[in-house]
Structure 1
Amino acid sequence: MRVHTGRRRNDQARQAILTAATELLAAGEPVTLTAIAGRARVGKQTIYRWWPSKGAVVLEAMAERARETAPAASTGSLEGDLEAFVAATFAAASDPAYAATLRGIVGEALRDEHAASVLAEFTADQREQVYLVVERWLPEVAEVAADLAVDQIHGVLWYRLLIGHAPVEADTGGQLARDIAAQLRRSTSGTQAKRA
C-alpha cells in the first residue's frame, strides 16, 4: 500500500523515507533516490519536494537518530554531562543496525563527493555537541584543549567502529568522558596558575 502524502509533509511518509535511507546504508546497498522511494513506498517527487538531495535525506536521518540516542544532559557538572552524552553516544553505536548505518555512510563517502560532505556535516554537528558541554562548564578552556578532547572522544568511537579491534560500549564511553573531563580541568588549572 502506497503512503499518501498530499502537498504538506506527512509524518508517516517522512519517517518511512528516513527509515528507508538508514536501512539501505545499514545493508550496504546503494543509496539512491529510486531505492529510497521504493523502500519507503513513496514517489521520488515526494522526496524532492521535502529534501534537495539524497544526501540531505541521509543527513537528516543520521542527525535525528543521533539526537534521539544522545540528548543533551544537564547533570550539574562537567563530568556528569560529558559522561552522560558520551556514554549515550557509545551505547547507540553499539547497536548493530546503527553501527552498520554509520559504517555505510563512510563507505558512501568514499565513493560519492556529496555523501562525503554529508558525513562531514554530520561529524561537525556531533563535535559541536561536545564543545557545547565543555564550554558550559569551562568557558575559559583553551581551544586547542577542547579540540583535543573532541578528537579523543570521536577518535576512539570511529576507530573501534571502523576497525573493530574492540567493542563500542557505553562503559567505555563513560570512562573516556571522565578521563577527558579530568584532563580538561588539569589544563585549565595549569593555565590559571601561569596567569597568576
Structure 2
Amino acid sequence: MSGERRPGRPRSEESRGAILAAALEGLREHGFAALTIEGIAGRAGVGKQTIYRWWPSKADVVLDALLDQAEETIRVPDEGSLRADLTAFLGATFRQTHQRPVLVGLMGQALLDPGFALAFRERFLFRRRGTLRELFDRAISRGEIAAGVDPELLVDVVYGVLWYRLMLDHAPLDGAASRQLTELVLRAVR
C-alpha cells in the first residue's frame, strides 16, 4: 500500500486479530459453508459493520486468516539440499490437512466469484507457488536440477497433486504422500 489512509477509522490490530481468530474457530467448528459474518462478529466481540468495513466478504476474512496462519506454520526451509528442503516444505504443507474444509471452501468461492478468484490467486496461490519456486531456484543454483527441467512444471506437479487430493479427497495427504511426492520430484529433476 502507498501509505495513504483508507476512509473510516483505522484498523485496530487487536480487533483484526480477534476477527481472524474467530473466523478460524468458526471454520473448525462449523466449516466454510456454515460460517457467517454474524458468527465471526459475535465471537470476535465486534460489530458486523467493522468486518464489512475491512473485508468485502467472509471469504476475504478467511483468506487473511489463512495467510496469517500459513506465514506462521509453513516456513521456507533452507536445509542445504533439494531433498531436505522438499521433505521439510511438503511435510509442513501436508500436516495442514485440517485446513481441507477451509481450502476447499475458498477454492469453491474462487470458482463462483471472479473478484475473489483474483485475490485468492494473487495473495495465496501464487505466494505458495513462489515459495516452492524459491526451493527449486536454490536447487538449480546448486546444480541439483538438470538443465532443461522446467521448474514451473515441477511446481504444477506438486500443487496439482495437493489440490487434486484436497478437492476430491480420494487419497490421503499425509506423511507417506509427502515422501512419495518428494521422491517423484527428485526423480524428475535428474
TM-score (norm 1): 0.75
The aligned counterpart of 2:95 is: 91
**One-letter code aligned to 2:130:** E
The aligned counterpart of 1:130 is: 132
Higher helix share: 1
Task: Report the aligned-residue RMSD.
Answer: 2.7
Distance 1:137 1:106 in 2: 30
Q: Shift of the alpha carbon at 1:146?
A: 0.7
- Do the aligned residues in 1 keep the contact of 2:27 with 2:35 (CA within 8 Å)? yes
Q: Shift of the alpha carbon at 1:86?
A: 1.1
Distance 1:7 1:28 in 2: 28
Distance 1:35 1:148 in 2: 41
**One-letter code aligned to 1:83:** T
- Fraction of identical pairs, as percent: 40
Deviation by residue 1:60-89 (Cα, 9 ceiling, x = unmatched): 211122222321112111110122101110
Distance 1:149 1:104 in 2: 25
- Do the aligned residues in 2 keep the contact of 1:83 with 1:175 (CA within 8 Å)? no
- Do the aligned residues in 1 keep the contact of 2:95 with 2:175 (CA within 8 Å)? yes
Distance 2:110 2:25 in 1: 16
- Do the aligned residues in 1 keep the contact of 2:63 with 2:106 (CA within 8 Å)? no
The aligned counterpart of 1:164 is: 169
Aligned: 1:9 with 2:12: yes
Distance 1:112 1:30 in 2: 18
Q: Shift of the alpha carbon at 1:52?
A: 4.9
Residue of 53, 58, 80 corresponding to 2:56: 53
Residue of 64, 68, 87 corresponding to 2:68: 64
**One-letter code aligned to 2:178:** G
Q: Which has the higher mean CA deviation after the structures are superposed, 20-29 or 78-87?
A: 20-29
Distance 1:160 1:36 in 2: 29
Residue of 76, 80, 86 corresponding to 1:76: 80
Q: Which has the higher mean CA deviation after the structures are superposed, 17-26 or 146-155?
A: 17-26
Q: Shift of the alpha carbon at 1:39?
A: 3.6
Residue correspondences, number: 175
The aligned counterpart of 1:103 is: 104
Structure 1: unaligned runs, 5 residues or longer: 1-5, 187-196
Residue of 155, 159, 175 corresponding to 2:160: 155
The aligned counterpart of 2:23 is: 21
The aligned counterpart of 1:115 is: 116
The aligned counterpart of 2:40 is: 36
The aligned counterpart of 1:145 is: 150
- Do the aligned residues in 1 keep the contact of 2:133 with 2:155 (CA within 8 Å)? yes
Tell me the secondary structure at the aligned position of residue 12 of structure 2: coil
